[in-house]
Structure 1
Amino acid sequence: MVVAALGVLAIVGAGAWLAVRAREARSAVEALRVDGKTLQSQLQAYDLTAAGETLTRVRADAQRAHRLTGDPVWGAAGYVPVLGRDLRAAREVSAVMADITGAARPLEQALPRLNPSGSAGDQGQLDVTALRAMADAMPELSAAVSSGAVRVNELDPSGLRPEVADGVTTLNAALKSARGPFADAVPLLEQLPGMLGADQEKTWIVLLQQDAEARGTGGLVGAFAELRTQDGRMRLADAESRGKLDRGPLIPASAVPSSLRAHYGKDLTEWAGFNASPHFPHTGELAASGWHARTDQQADFVAGVDQNVVAAMLAATGPVKVRDVTVDSSNAVNFLSKGVYARWQNPGDVDAVTTELVEAVFGKFSKGEFSLPTLIKSLREPIRERRLLLWANDDEVESQLEQLSISGTIPGDPGPFAMAVINNGGGNKMDAYLQVDTRYDPGTCINSARVGQISVTLDNTAPKDGEGLPSYVNVRTDLIQRGYTGKAVRDGSNRIVLDIYGPVGSSAVLTQLDGTTTVPVTGTDNNHPVWRLSIPIAAGQTRTVNVVMSTPVVEDDAGQIPVVLSQPMVKPATSSAKPLTACKTSSVVGG
C-alpha cells in the first residue's frame, strides 16, 4: 500500500506555489516508495530490528507528504476543474497513509524486541511485553486500515490522470486485501501474551492426530505432549503415547451437549475416539475434562496437530533422528502416515516411535532451537487446512479464538453449509488411501423451502487386494471382532463411518448410496443435522452418497456461496459448491 501511494501523490502542481509543493511532495513520496519497499523486504525476511527502524522512516515520509498536501491552499486548489480531482485524490491518500503509519507507531519499538534471532537464542523466550504492546496497538491499526479502505474506495479513478488512477486502484486493492488479515490478527494477538504465560504459568495439552485412521477433527490421537508456558518460554513437561491415557479413567462425557453424546455414544469417553466430532471445541472440552479426571489438574489450552503440522515444525527446527531414522520436513508426512507402520509392525513400537518423535520436536522448541520466520511461513497452509486447532479453557479467551479458523469451530448459524466427516470404522490405517470429494448443490425453491443436494464421493485408492500393505495398516479389526478370518480381513478394504453435516434447520428428504435408497442414522451437532451411513469399501472401489435435503429459505440469500468445510485427511479432501439462485415468490417451484 505504501508503494501504491506513489502514483497518487506524484502530481505536477498548478502555479508557482503548487509547483514547489508538488516537487516537495514528489520527493516525500519517492522516499516513501523506497522505504516502503525496504520495509516489505525486511518483514518478509523477519529482520524485525531493521523493520522497526524503517517503519519510523516510513511514518516520517507519510507525515511529510500529508503536511505538503494537507494545508488550506492545496485544499482550495482541489476545487479547480480537472486538475482538482488529482489534487483531492493526493490529499485523501496522503491522509490515509499518515493515519495508518501513525497507528502503527507502537510497532516501531515492539518489532525489534521480537526479532527471531533474539527470541530463539534465549531458550526460546519471546518478549511478552512487546507482544502486549503490539496487541494494544492492533485495534487502532486495524481500524485505520479498515477506514482507509473505505475512504480510498470512494475515490473514482475514472476521472483521474492515468498514473494517479493506477495508484488509487492499486492502493484500493492493497487496503481491501489487508483489511481482513488485520482484523483477524486482533483477537489472537490480544490473547497471545496470556497463552505464553505472561501473567502465570499455563498448561498445554498437544494432541498428535494420525490422519491415517480418521477422526472428525483429523485422526486418531497417537501421542500427546504436555507443555508449560511462562514469561514467553515453553517447557516440555511430558510426552507419552495415547496408551498412557487409555489406562483410564474414562473421559467424563458430560462436558459436551447431550445431543452430541446421543449421536457419538461411548466413543466420546475413550481417548481413541473422543475427537469424533469435527467441532474442535468439543474435543477441547473432552480432553480437558479427561485430563482433570486423570491428573486433578487443569489444562489451560488444548491443541490438535497432525503430520503436516509436524512437518512445518521440522522445517523450523531442522531434522531429528528417531531410532536411526532421520525425519525432516520433506518426509514427516509420509513417515507418520505410512512409513512408521511399514517399518514397525508392533502397535506398541509404533506408539513409542511416534512419541519419541513428538518429544524430539517439542524438545527443540523448548530449547529455542528453531527458526521463527520459517515456522510462521510453514504453518500457513496447515492452518488454512484446519490441521492446527486450538481451544482455551477460559470462556472469554475461547470466545475470542472462535472468531478465527484455528479454533476449528463448525459455525452454528443458519445458511448453506456442508461437511463430510470420516471416522474410521475398520480399526486400521487405511484412511491414508481414502480420497473424499464433497459437492454442494443448493437446488431450487419449493414454497418456502430450498431443495438441494449434498453429494460425497469416497474413493479407496489402496492397491488391489491390499497387496504390499503392512498387516497393521491393512487389517479389518471390525471383521475380526465379528469372527471373520483369512483374506477377507486383509484385502485392502475398509469400513467408513460417514457423517454428513447439513445446513441448520434442514432435513433429509432422500438419502442414496450408489443410487440405492437407504435410511441414515440422524443426529445433531452444534445445531446442524447429521446424517450417518456405515459404508464398506473395497480396494479400488468408489462409492457415492447423495442426500437430498429441504432447507428453509433465508431472505436475500441469492448469490451466496455455500460454506463447505473439509476434514484434514492424508489425501487432502476436495469440495465444490454452486451459488444460491434467487427464489421466486410462488407456491410452485422457483429459483
Structure 2
Amino acid sequence: MTAPSADAPARPRRRRRRILWVLAAIIVLLVVVGLYLGYLAYKAKGDLETARTQATAARAAVLDGDVAKAKAAAAQAQSSSESARSKTHNIVWSAAAAIPWLGSPLDSVAQISDVVADLSTDVLSPIADLATTLDPTTLRTGDKGINTTLLGENEAKLGTIADVAERIDARAADIDGSWFSTVADARDQLVGQTTKTSRFIRGTDTAAKLLPPMLGNNGVRRYFFAFQTPAESRATGGLLGAYAVISARNGRINVDNLGPNSTLRAPARPIDLGAEFDSNYAINRPYVDDRNSNASPHFPYAAQIWMSMWRQQTNTRLDGALATDPIALSYLLKATGPITLSNGDSITGDNVVEVTLSSSYKRFGGDNPARKAYLQEIASKAITTLTTARGNTGGVLEALGRAVHERRLMVYSTRPEEQALLVSSGLAHEVTQTDAPYAEVTVGNLAGNKIDYYLRRAVRYESGSCTGDMRQSTLTVSLTNTATDLSLPAYVIGGLGNPDKRIRPGTNYANLTANLTNGAVLQTITVDGQAPLYGTGTELGHLHVMTQLRIKPGATAVVKYTFLEPTSARGAAVVPVQPLVDEPAVTVDVPQCR
C-alpha cells in the first residue's frame, strides 16, 4: 500500500485558485468590454443625435432655398452618421450584437446608424443641391406665377431621390426597437424623421410632375374651384358654397369667374355617372341640384358634375376641378400671413374658420346676399393666396401637406395620366377600390342648416381573427350634437332647408352612409340600440349602407353596424375620414390577414 503524497492536498487548492483566476480574468474582461461598449454607445449616441439635428436643419434649409446652408448641414449629418456607423460596426460591437436577445439593442443601434448614414449620403446631400428649386425667389415669378419650368427641369432628379428616400424609410420601419426602451424611442424618432423626409421629397416630386402641365406649360388649362362649407356637411366635406373658374398658363393663374352656388344653373342635359350612382343618389338630384352635387364621397363624381354644369351654362370645357375648405385655408394663412378685406377686416389663420363657418351667420342674420358677398371676397383673396403660394415655402408646403393628409384639398384632372398621379399622391379623394378591410363613414346634412359646425364624431372599427372564410366585424359611429344654444339663427340650427320634416331647432338631422369592405355582408344596424330604417347597395366595390338620424341638442347618437367580411381582404385596414370641422377620434383594431 502506497502512502499518500504530501502534495496531494495542495493540488485541489491550486486547481481552485487557477479556476478563480480564470473567472476573475473573465469578469475583468467582461467589465472592460462592457465599459468599452458603454463608451462606444455614448459616443455613437452623440453622433446620431448630431446627425439627426443636422438632417432636420438640412431639410429646413432646402425648404428655404438656402443651398449653402443645406449643403453644410447635410455634410455635417453625413460626417456624424458615418462616425456613428464606424463605432457600431467594429468587431467588439458586432460580436456583442450577435448575442441572442441580450444583444438586440446593439443590433438595432447598428441598423439605426446605417439608416441615418444612408439618409444623409443618398438623400440629404443630393436634395441639398436642388435647394434652389424651392427657393421662394426662384420658385415664384415676378408676375405672381409659379416657375413651373424650374420644377420640370428637376423632376427626374427629384423622382430618383424620392425613390431612395422611400426605400430608406421602409428600412427604418423594419428596425426592431428591441427590449431596451431608450433604443425603441430612438427607433421611433428615426422613423418619424425618415417618413417626414420621404413624404416631403415625394410630394415635391409629384408637384414637379403635375404642376408644369396642369398650370399650362403646354397651353391654357381651366378648372372649377369649389369652396366647401363643412358647417353643412356633404360627403366630400361640405356644401358647395362659393366657386371660381380659374385659368392657368405658364404657371400664372387668373380668376376668370367667381360666384355663389346660386349662380350655377341646372343643366338641360345632365351627365350620366351610371346605374350604381343613380341607385345610391338619384333621390338627391345631384346632377341638377348643386346643393347635392357632392352627395358621394368619391370626389371625381362631384368634379364631373360641376364641370358639366359649367360647360352647359357657358359652353366652356374645363380640364378639371379642385375643392378645399376654410380649415385648409387656416393652415395656409398661418404660413402666408393674413388677408385684408375691403372693409378692413383681417382674416387670419386663427379666425378664418370661426368667421366663415359661424360668426358670419350671426353677423349678417338673414341678409344672405350680404353674407355671401362677404364670404365671396374671402374666397377670392384665398384663391390668390393659394395660387401665388406667397410666404415661406416650407410653411406653405407643410400647410398644403396637412390639408392633403386630412383630405381637405382635392383635385381632379380629365387627363388619365395626371389623375393617376393625383390618386397616388392622396389628392384625388376617391372611394378607394381596394380589397383591403375598409370602413368609410360620411355625414350628409338633411336640414339645410349650418349645424355641423357643432358636430363631433368618433369612429371605432373592430374585426375578429383571420380564421375561416369570413370574420365578424363591427363599426361603431358616435355623433354628438354640441349645439345647445337655441338662440342661434334659424339659418344655423333650424330646418329651413327641409320644412316638411318639421325639424325642431337645434336638432341635427342627417343622412349617415357607410362604405364597407368589398364582399362584406351586413348583419345588423342599430341606432342607440334600436333598429332603424336603412337601405343598402354598392359603391365602387364596397357594401353601401344608408340610414337617417335626428340628434337632439347636446345628445349623442351611437350607430352600430355588425357585418361579416371576407378574410381574403388582406393588408392594413383603410379608414378614410370625411373632412368636417372636428378632428374625430378614430380607433382601428383590425388584424391584418395575409
Partner deviation per Cα, 1:114-166 (whole Å, 9 max, x = no partner): 311454572333322221233211232133334556778999999xxxx9999
| Aligned mate of 1:53, from 68, 81, 87 | 68
Task: Give 1:358 deviation, angstroms.
Answer: 0.8
Q: What letter corresponds to residue 145 of structure 1 in structure 2?
A: A
Q: What letter corresponds to residue 224 of structure 2 in structure 1?
A: I
Residue 320, structure 1, aligned to residue 320, structure 2: no
CA distance in 2, matches of 1:182, 1:368: 18
Of stretches 141-150 and 514-523 in structure 1, the one that deviates more from structure 2 is 141-150
Alignment partner, residue 534 of structure 1: 548
Residue 575, structure 1, aligned to residue 586, structure 2: yes
Residue 502, structure 1, aligned to residue 516, structure 2: yes
Q: Within 5 A, what are the aligned runs for 1:188-267?
A: 188-245=207-264, 247-249=265-267, 252-254=270-272, 256-265=273-282, 266-267=285-286
8 Å CA contact retained: 1:106, 1:134 = no
Alignment partner, residue 144 of structure 1: 164
Alignment partner, residue 359 of structure 1: 380
Alignment partner, residue 472 of structure 2: 451
Task: Give 1:54 deviation, angstroms.
Answer: 4.0
Q: What letter corresponds to residue 233 of structure 2 in structure 1?
A: A
Residue 461, structure 1, aligned to residue 482, structure 2: yes
Relative to structure 1, the CA distance from residue 65 to residue 576 in structure 2 (aligned partners, 3 Å threshold; closer, same or farther) is closer
8 Å CA contact retained: 2:438, 2:575 = yes
Alignment partner, residue 411 of structure 2: 390
Relative to structure 1, the CA distance from residue 445 to residue 369 in structure 2 (aligned partners, 3 Å threshold; closer, same or farther) is closer
Relative to structure 1, the CA distance from residue 179 to residue 112 in structure 2 (aligned partners, 3 Å threshold; closer, same or farther) is closer
Partner deviation per Cα, 1:285-316 (whole Å, 9 max, x = no partner): 22223222222223223111111122223331
Q: What letter corresponds to residue 579 of structure 1 in structure 2?
A: V
SS in 1 for 2:399: helix
SS in 1 for 2:227: strand
Q: Within 5 A, what are the aligned runs for 1:116-135?
A: 116-120=136-140, 122-135=142-155
8 Å CA contact retained: 2:54, 2:76 = no
CA distance in 2, matches of 1:329, 1:81: 52
Task: Give 1:65 deviation, angstroms.
Answer: 9.9
Residue 565, structure 1, aligned to residue 579, structure 2: no
| Aligned mate of 1:492, from 482, 496, 506 | 506
Task: Give 1:495 deviation, angstroms.
Answer: 1.5
8 Å CA contact retained: 2:65, 2:136 = no
SS in 2 for 1:278: coil
CA distance in 1, matches of 2:515, 2:174: 41
| TM-score, normalised by the number of residues in structure 1 | 0.78
| TM-score, normalised by the number of residues in structure 2 | 0.77
CA distance in 2, matches of 1:208, 1:92: 44
SS in 2 for 1:216: coil
Alignment partner, residue 434 of structure 1: 455
Alignment partner, residue 13 of structure 2: none
Relative to structure 1, the CA distance from residue 33 to residue 196 in structure 2 (aligned partners, 3 Å threshold; closer, same or farther) is farther
Q: What letter corresponds to residue 560 of structure 2 in structure 1?
A: N
Q: What letter corresponds to residue 394 of structure 1 in structure 2?
A: R
Of stretches 425-434 and 193-202 in structure 1, the one that deviates more from structure 2 is 193-202
| Aligned mate of 2:305, from 286, 303, 322 | 286
Q: Which runs of 5+ in 1 are unaligned?
A: 1-25, 71-75, 584-591
8 Å CA contact retained: 2:64, 2:393 = no
8 Å CA contact retained: 2:64, 2:394 = no
Instruction: State which structure, 1 or 2, has the greater radius of gyration over its C-alpha atoms.
Output: 2
Task: Give 1:550 deviation, angstroms.
Answer: 1.8
Residue 470, structure 1, aligned to residue 489, structure 2: yes
Task: Give 1:366 deviation, angstroms.
Answer: 5.9
SS in 2 for 1:477: coil
| Aligned mate of 1:379, from 395, 400, 403 | 400
Relative to structure 1, the CA distance from residue 508 to residue 170 in structure 2 (aligned partners, 3 Å threshold; closer, same or farther) is closer
CA distance in 1, matches of 2:453, 2:192: 40
Task: Give 1:95 deviation, angstroms.
Answer: 11
Please provide the CA RMSD for this pair: 4.4
| Aligned mate of 2:326, from 307, 312, 320 | 307
CA distance in 2, matches of 1:575, 1:391: 27
Task: Give 1:476 deviation, angstroms.
Answer: 0.8
Relative to structure 1, the CA distance from residue 157 to residue 340 in structure 2 (aligned partners, 3 Å threshold; closer, same or farther) is closer
